[in-house]
Amino acid sequence: MSSSSSQVAYADTSAGCPARVTVVIADNLSSRFAHIFTNASEAKLVGICDPVVDLPDQLVLLQADVLLLPGDMERRTLLPLLRAIRTHRHPAKVLIVTDRCDAEFIGTILRYGGRGCLRSTSSAVDVLKAVAAVKTATYGSNADCSPMP
């Protein structure tokens, strides 16, 4: 990956297959998750971003389908960011990486526009399945949740 700015690292997407899910990872998750997409046929890592710096516009620039964000961000940063991504002209689907499993936290994430939660200890297979599922999902990851607006 080469970096064309201090906020975003770009991957070469010229050889990418359009059927693959394009993924952007928050920079503080890259050490745990970037390697998963190295040889994945179903998903391609197209960028690693600072989640606080113009993220909705960066997701459009990178043509991201799915964004992995850390769930340990402060609520006052995370929730407005989820809303901004959801209401952006080309929104990416957001998966929150967290080890919090309480219903209140997950419900809040889904209400603000997150499409699901993923444990930070998830296997590579589970990460790839989750990324593929949220790309096409019209509901949150919990079957008991109501449809997202």
3-class secondary-structure state, position 39: coil
What's the pLDDT at 138?
59
CB 62 within 8 A of CB 34: no
Q: Note whether residue 117 is domain-resident.
A: yes
78 belongs to a structural domain: yes
**Residue 144 domain flag:** no
Model pLDDT, residue 19: 66
Host domain of residue 55: 2-12+19-136
Q: Is residue 89 part of a domain?
A: yes
Residue 141 lies in a domain: no
Tell me, yes or no, whether 100 lies in a domain. Answer: yes
Q: Find the CATH number of the domain harbouring 116.
A: 3.40.50.2300
Report the predicted TM-score, pTM, of the whole model to 2 decimal places. Answer: 0.77
Residue 146 resides in a domain: no
Q: Which helix (H) or strand (E) holds 3?
A: strand 2-3
**How far is residue 102's CA from residue 72's CA, in Å, rounded to a whole number?**
14
Contact between residue 65 and residue 19 where contact means Cβ atoms under 8 Å apart: no
Is residue 145 domain-resident?
Answer: no
Residues with pLDDT less than 50, the chain: 1-18, 139-149
CA distances 72 to 60, 119, 123, 143, Å, are: 24, 12, 19, 24
CB 25 within 8 A of CB 62: no
Residues whose CB falls within 8 Å of the CB of residue 83, separated by 6 or more in sequence, listed in order = 112, 113
Domain count of the chain? 1
Q: What is the structure's pLDDT at 100?
A: 82
